[in-house]
């Protein structure tokens, strides 16, 4: 099993990797299918199902689907161009994707929110259709957005979870137990094994530059979030809090009597800065998803700014270790809130961040595995219940607390020998089972939990 660090950490746009990035990626793939087809198309239609329908408006799924069908992608997204494109589509009821003829598309009639028919493969399902001049479907494909911006067709999902078809890697661990066994036999750290796996697909320069780019985008997002004031879009009138908290922390920095727990406020503010940017549709890095995008950057920034001896040269090790743990969670359970609740998003992010922090602070592979397990274990059962379907309440604060838990988990693991009672594999399997048993109303549908017990206006 191999999942690249560049698959786990992808640059995209908020507010949701599953609901915003995924539909755009699916649309791009469908346009490629149309370009390769012998048919002459005249129009497009799309239907959203399950969580994509229930929280689609709050997660900007409608907007993302339309922009994706117009040819825009998360990697090259430009906000001004997107706004111009949407305005033109609303006015002309026409899509003009590159390499295809003008296509009829009325957003009100041709984008369907199907609340009654969930697709069988995954809660985040969508059907894309290309039609002839009479409106008859000539080409149709079902896509599933399975979390973190990953998208599979119906056939691909049916083939199973093993998605990698590249060259063999030297350390093909599919479980934490295999990872630890390989680390013991090779004498290598988790980061070293992951690096050797990556080098079968990328050169040293690509890996180095790519890792530096991931952290740069993460850190830039923190900085924007720390300096941008205002009200988040969507109608809840949630005020951005990170800038004010950051200013207060800077003012208190020289105080001799500052309480030790103040460092938690720094960690929280870094995480909230990212997720406030995400909620506003800004550029973020999936880590492993957009909804959980604040945990990893917050822990890395905490380590660099507040831990003696931290050095930016080890950020790559942090990312590689985290990606190794994230790959295990994705392969053996889920990173999708629509599939397994928020335990799969913030819980997975906390496990990844805890493992990365433990590694760069000198932890052994056994301690790294322990750190990931502690962090994930104490998110088990967490539901995904966004108020008004927006990635704001409780999502922003959940990232802050997830980051704090990650730091605590790493610290506890470093205080031990690596021996512990619950293996990470057992914790991941428990998360999978818990998600499977969880009521659908608590899995990113905004039909239960805080989403129905807190006024939406």
pLDDT mean over 20-36: 97
Alpha helices in 232-291 (DSSP H): 242-252, 262-279
| pLDDT category of residue 162 using cuts at 50, 70 and 90 | very low
**Model confidence pLDDT, tens digit, residues 231-250:** 999 999 999 999 999 999 99
What's the distance, Cα to Cα, between the start and end of the chain in Å?
46
Output the CA–CA distances (angstroms, integers) from residue 408 to 126, 311, 374, 414, 431, in the order listed.
Answer: 39, 20, 9, 10, 20
**Model confidence pLDDT, tens digit, residues 204-224:** 999 999 999 999 999 999 999
Give the pLDDT of residue 161: 52
**Model confidence pLDDT, tens digit, residues 32-90:** 999 999 999 999 999 999 999 999 999 999 999 999 999 999 988 888 999 999 999 99
Give the pLDDT of residue 165: 63
Give the pLDDT of residue 79: 87
Give the pLDDT of residue 310: 98
Q: Following DSSP, what letter does each residue of 97-154 receive, concatenated?
A: -TTS--EE--HHHHEEEESS---SS-SEEEEEEEE-TTS-EEEEEEEEEEETTEEEEH
Give the pLDDT of residue 263: 96
Give the angle subtended at the CA of 186 by the CAs of 355 and 420, to the nearest 5°: 40
d(CA 457, CA 442): 21
Alpha helices in 163-238 (DSSP H): 176-186, 190-198, 204-227
**Model confidence pLDDT, tens digit, residues 140-152:** 999 999 999 999 9
Give the pLDDT of residue 164: 61
CB atoms within 10 A of CB 113: 16
Give the pLDDT of residue 456: 72
Give the chain's length. 457
pLDDT mean over 305-323: 97
Q: Which residue has the higher pLDDT, 1 or 172?
A: 172
Asked if the model's pLDDT at residue 308 lies above 50, the reply is: yes
Asked if the model's pLDDT at residue 440 lies above 50, the reply is: yes
Predicted TM-score of the model (pTM): 0.94
| pLDDT category of residue 137 using cuts at 50, 70 and 90 | very high
- Domains within the chain, CATH numbers bracketed: 18-158 (3.30.1330.90), 176-453 (1.10.4100)
């Amino acid at each position: 099993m191999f999942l690249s660090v560049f698959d786990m950490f992808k640059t995209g746009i908020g507010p949701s990797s599953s609901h915003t990035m995924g539909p755009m990626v699916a649309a791009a793939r469908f346009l490629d299918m149309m370009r390769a087809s012998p048919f002459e198309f005249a129009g497009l239609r799309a239907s959203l199902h399950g969580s994509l329908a229930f929280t689609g408006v709050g997660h900007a799924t409608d907007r993302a689907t339309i922009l994706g069908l117009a040819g825009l992608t998360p990697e090259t997204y430009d906000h001004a161009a997107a706004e111009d494109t949407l305005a033109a589509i609303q006015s002309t009821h026409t899509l003009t994707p590159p390499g295809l003829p003008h296509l009829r598309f009325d957003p009100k009639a041709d984008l369907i929110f199907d609340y009654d028919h969930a697709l069988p493969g995954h809660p985040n399902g969508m059907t894309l259709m290309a039609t002839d001049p009479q409106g008859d479907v000539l080409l149709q494909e079902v896509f599933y957005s399975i979390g973190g911006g990953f998208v599979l067709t119906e056939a691909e999902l049916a083939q199973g979870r093993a998605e990698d078809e590249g060259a063999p890697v030297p350390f093909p661990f599919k479980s934490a137990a295999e990872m630890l066994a390989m680390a013991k036999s090779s004498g290598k750290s988790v980061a070293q094994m992951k690096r050797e796996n990556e080098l079968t697909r990328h050169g040293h320069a690509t890996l180095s530059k790519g890792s530096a780019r991931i952290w740069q985008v993460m850190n830039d997002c923190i900085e924007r979030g720390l300096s941008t004031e205002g009200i988040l879009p969507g109608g809840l009138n949630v005020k951005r809090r990170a800038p004010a908290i950051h200013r207060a922390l800077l003012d208190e920095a020289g105080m001799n009597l500052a309480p030790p727990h103040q460092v938690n406020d720094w960690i929280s503010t870094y995480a909230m800065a990212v997720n406030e940017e995400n909620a506003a549709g800004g550029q973020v890095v999936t880590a492993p998803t957009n909804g959980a995008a604040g945990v990893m950057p917050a822990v890395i920034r905490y380590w660099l700014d507040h831990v003696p001896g931290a050095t930016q040269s080890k950020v790559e090790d942090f990312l590689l270790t985290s990606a190794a743990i994230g790959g295990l969670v994705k392969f053996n359970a889920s990173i999708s809130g629509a599939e397994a609740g928020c335990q799969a998003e913030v819980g997975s992010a906390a496990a990844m961040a805890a493992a990365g922090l433990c590694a760069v602070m000198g932890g052994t592979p056994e301690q790294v595995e322990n750190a990931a397990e502690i962090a994930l274990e104490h998110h088990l059962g967490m539901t995904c219940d966004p108020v008004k379907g927006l990635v704001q309440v409780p999502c922003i604060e959940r990232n802050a607390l997830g980051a704090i838990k990650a730091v605590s988990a790493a610290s506890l693991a470093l205080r031990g020998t690596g021996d512990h009672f619950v293996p990470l594999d057992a914790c991941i399997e428990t998360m999978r089972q818990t998600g499977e048993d969880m009521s659908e109303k608590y899995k990113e549908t905004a039909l239960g939990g805080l989403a129905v017990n807190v006024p939406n206006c």
